[in-house]
Amino acid sequence: MLNYVLGRLLTFIPTFIGVTLISFGFIRALPGDPITVMAGERGVSAERYAELKVQYGFDQPIYVQFWDYLTGVLHGDLGTSFVTKRPVFDEFFALFPATLELSICAMIFALLLGLPAGVIAAVNRGKFFDRALMSTALVGYSMPIFWWALLLIIVFSGNLGWTPVSGRIDLLYYFPDATGFMLIDSLASGQSGAFKSAVLHLILPTVVLGTIPLAVIARQTRSAMLEVLGEDYIRTARSKGMSPGRINGIHALRNAMIPVITVIGLSVGTLLAGAILTETIFSWPGIGKWMVDSIFRRDYPVVQGGLLLIAVMVMIVNLTVDMLYGVINPKIRKR
């Protein structure tokens, strides 16, 4: 197992270099540069433009700029945002806990509903329940996030008044972000009602962000279960008179979990992509919105640094998922 993990860690190196190169190149491939975007309609004189180019280092050949960036990265310096003039690293880790908290909640929500729904649909294959669940999943999968979020806000926050419209906590509460995770910080603050407010604020964004992963997990669980339920050993188990609960819950589900876990790993990317829209609508101060704003402003250091950090996070999640295979399937563990 240790060898396996070390081997996987080694593959991080080329991926890391590749991501650095792509993130550096991608933002520069977009037309326009930060200086003209910042100047807007007001314009900037040719002399001033030349001065600013020197100040930002754009007068250097592109390979020199890349080398500077790469050496910076290897020294743990991702540069400073052109716009806020603050280190990219600090900005990322000030915002990332908000995205992580929301993503974890969304994933838990998707798993709690998606796994049982998939199993139930598989067991009742072709029956009404199966069809109803799978049609709902299809709708969930193709739901435009923006529309879905506004619909939920109008119904649950506007008409019913059950949940707050947006934000992470009621503005009444104010305490230091010790961890950046609002659920933890609100509990730690000891202010009465703060935790409840944080939970209420999480509900709608969680549902919105979790909807697509939920649909994917339900469908994947169903098809993996159907495949496993057709296997010989399940028939054997049935013929031995084992209870359906035991067959489905232990023998079938465990074997169906491998493709499902793959999907969960891949959903991390979906969650981050979905976070961009979800965070914008719910005024959720996370990295999704931060990245989009930075792309529009051509804030090169933020875009390249942010992409790199996100890529590292995704690599870590994928490694974790691969290790989980071993836990679930002893055949992989032994290899």
DSSP for residue 87? B
| Of 108, 120, 327, 332, the residue nearest 225 (C-alpha) | 120
Q: Can you tell me which of 102, 121, 153, 252 binds other proteins, judged by CB under 8 A? A: 153
Q: Can you tell me which of 135, 177, 231, 333 binds other proteins, judged by CB under 8 A? A: 177
Angle between helices 88-123 and 194-229 in degrees, nearest 10: 50
| Of residues 130 and 299, the one with the C-beta less far from other proteins | 299
| Of residues 169 and 216, the one with the C-beta less far from other proteins | 169
Residues numbered 13 to 42 that lie near other proteins (CB under 8 A) are 30-33, 36-42
Contacting range for other proteins; rule: CB under 8 A; set: 10-18, 253-261, 289-297, 326-334: 289-297
Under the binding rule (CB under 8 A), the answer on residue 189 touching other proteins is yes
Burial of 117 (0-12, 13-18, 19+ CB in 10 A): buried
Under the binding rule (CB under 8 A), the answer on residue 203 touching other proteins is no
Helix (H) and strand (E) counts in the chain: 15, 0
Query: What b/e readout covers 7-42, taking b as 16+ CB neighbours within 10 angstroms?
Result: eeeeeeeeeeeebbeebbeebbeeeebbbeeeeeee
Under the binding rule (CB under 8 A), the answer on residue 174 touching other proteins is yes
User: How many CB atoms are located within 10 Å of the residue 283 CB?
Assistant: 13
Q: Can you tell me which of 19, 52, 107, 214 binds other proteins, judged by CB under 8 A? A: 52
- Residue 29 CB, nearest approach to other proteins (Å): 11
| Of residues 231 and 293, the one with the C-beta less far from other proteins | 293
Contact 167, 204 (CB under 8 A): no
- Residue 107 CB, nearest approach to other proteins (Å): 22
Under the binding rule (CB under 8 A), the answer on residue 7 touching other proteins is no
What letter represents residue 74's amino acid? L
Q: What track of x and - describes contact with other proteins for positions 230 through 259 (by CB under 8 A)?
A: ------------------------------
Q: Can you tell me which of 2, 7, 14, 45 binds other proteins, judged by CB under 8 A? A: 45
State how far the alpha carbon of 327 is from the alpha carbons of 215, 228, 260, 333, in Å: 25, 19, 14, 7
Under the binding rule (CB under 8 A), the answer on residue 58 touching other proteins is no
* R_g (Cα) of the chain, nearest Å: 24
Q: Can you tell me which of 60, 157, 223, 262 binds other proteins, judged by CB under 8 A? A: 157
Residues numbered 95 to 114 that lie near other proteins (CB under 8 A) are 95
Contact 230, 247 (CB under 8 A): no
| Of residues 42 and 331, the one with the C-beta less far from other proteins | 42
Under the binding rule (CB under 8 A), the answer on residue 48 touching other proteins is yes
Q: What is the SS3 assignment for 228? A: helix
| Of residues 81 and 220, the one with the C-beta less far from other proteins | 81
State how far the alpha carbon of 288 is from the alpha carbons of 21, 82, 96, 187, in Å: 21, 18, 9, 26
Under the binding rule (CB under 8 A), the answer on residue 86 touching other proteins is yes
Query: Which residues of this chain interact with other proteins, rule CB under 8 A?
Result: 30-33, 36-45, 48, 52, 55-56, 80, 82-86, 91, 94-95, 150, 153-154, 157-158, 161, 164-168, 171-178, 189, 191, 280-283, 285-286, 289-290, 293, 298
